[in-house]
Amino acid sequence: METTFKLEAINILKKAKRPLTSEEITKEIIKRKNVKIMGKTPRATLYSILITEIKKKGNKSTFIKIGREFSLR
């Protein structure tokens, strides 16, 4: 079953139980093969998705940014 970058990032961060960089999350997404990768820069796509949610939802965002890493709220 195919899922989205955002849902896959949530699953990866839950399993990791620690903050991860967008690069680490993207590598795991590619390894799992649950998301259809489109474009040449999946890391940039994921980063944009996570940052956009944080900016739009603020304290209600699923994600928080800690330095260069992302974690679940």
Token readout for 8 is 């896959």
CB 46 within 8 A of CB 35: no
pLDDT value of position 32 = 86
Number of domains in the chain: 1
AA identity, residue 6: K
Domain around 61: 5-72
Q: What is the pLDDT along the chain (73 residues), one digit of tens a residue?
A: 457 889 999 999 999 999 999 999 999 998 988 888 777 899 999 999 999 999 999 999 999 999 999 999 9
What is the C-alpha to C-alpha distance for residues 73 and 70, in angstroms, rounded to an integer? 9
Whole-number pLDDT of residue 1? 43
